[in-house]
Amino acid sequence: MSYFDAASAAPLHPVARQALSASLDEGWADPGRLYREGRRARMLLDAAREAAAEAVGCRPDELVFTSSGTRAVHSGIAGALAGRRRVGRHLIVSAVEHSSVLHSAEAFEAEGGVLTRTPVTRTGAVAVESYADALRSDTALACLQSANHEVGTEQPVAAVAELCREAGVPLLVDAAQSLGWAAVEGPWSLLAASAHKWGGPSGVGLLVVRKGVRFAPQGPVDERESGRAAGFENLPAIVAAAASLRAVRAQAAAEADRLRELTARIRARVAALVPEVEVVGDPERRLPGIVTFSCLYVDGEALLHELDRAGFSVSSGSSCTSSTLTPSHVLRAMGVLSEGNVRVSLPTGAAADDVERFLDVLPGAVAAVREKLGAPSLPGPADSRKVAPAGDAPVGGAPVVDTPVGDVLVVDALGRRCPIPVIELAKVIGEVPVGGTVRVLSDDEAARLDIPAWCEMRGQEYAGEEPADRGSAYVVRRLS
């Protein structure tokens, strides 16, 4: 089995395994006690903190260990907002932040705070100017990830941090995806990260609060970790996290070059091997091991199952793989295709042969899913196609009813999950004359993203969204 989902959780690094095993024998006591076992545990904790601080580029007394990266984010945002409550109640985040940041932001907004979500480009990057425009006299905190967890795009953290410094606003950086590769540059104020992203054990996060940043820890006061992370330290896991961070950093430069070559190979070959695919994310400013693409006329969950049966573990941002039945907020903010989405994130040491085997398997897996869904013949809608007659039910339930009215064709895809609405659109676009329109009725949230994306990929005009009795009507004008 080839594990290609390191952006979710990297396999445990051999150094982490060794450190974890050794510290189980040496680091079980309370590091707050003065007897021999306690002093030994304290020495291990202090050494781990110094190693982690060196990797981050901060002072050891600025860094605390938390129970997870999510807890580090929640504690960091809450503490910074509380510490600057006299300044104001305005928070800035990007539209593509990790859910831990967005959940904190939404909770703050629900409590009466003012929230600004900065947009991103089609590659997933924020514009520095968007943060400059968002900063206000009452801004208490700004947040920006170092690199995106779904598409790999690196963000202009250093430039945004400098803007925030000049405005006197602290910047919190979620560095979970990038910290294993390099320290975060720029005059940032707070930083959060998670050990399982770089090959450390799960259940260990880092929270860094720079000296001089106003910070008021929330919740009951605890004497551990400077009062910023309550509870008994998981010392063996902390030691393993720090040891593995140092180990991955030692080989980061060489491994980054190797993985960049492999992901560049995937980006180029997927576009050549699979018809109607959109490779997303910035082609240059990106993390070494992540490549993401979306396939027209493909159910993401079905494709993941096909790849799993072929021996590949990958992830997806498609709505059909989500319990919420909505497309990834990252893909939605970027305005790119969400259906048939696949994220390949290569772990350290990923073999080139496994990548080649993945590229051999992928075209057949995509074709199999498309065939099951009754997707139109590729390359596209240049040929005239007949509308499926009423009573012939396509995959997924009740029949689609297509009603021609002059130069307008109505496709009823209500109750159908994407990619069915897009598939039905592709089947009938040739039934209207050039200049005519197709109105697709859909109540699937993903259609709002995927129909405009289909138009851009297929050279048709997306004329907008109109209200309907149920769901929405998505209007497409045929250009060719």
Q: What residues are labeled active site? A: 320
Buried b (16+ CB within 10 A) or exposed e, 89-101: bbbbbbbbbbebb
Query: Per the structure block, which two tokens stand in for 302?
Result: 């079905």
Element (H, E) at 190: strand 190-194
Give backbone dihedrals phi and psi of 142, rounded to 5 degrees, phi first: -125, 145
For 161, other C-beta atoms within 10 Å of its C-beta total: 23
Provide CB contacts within 8 A for 391, sequence distance 6+: 399
CA distances from 222 to 121, 229, 231 (A): 42, 7, 7
Closest listed residue to residue 27, CA positions, set 1, 46, 13 = 46
For residue 56, what are the CA distances in angstroms to 94, 173, 191, 240, 415? 22, 12, 9, 16, 49
Neighbours of 433 (CB within 10 A): 9
Residue 412's beta-bridge partner residues?
A: 401, 441
Half-sphere exposure of 99 (CA within 13 A, CB side): 5
Using CA atoms, how far apart are residues 210 and 189, in angstroms rounded to an integer? 5
At residue 262, φ and ψ (nearest 5 deg) are: -70, -40
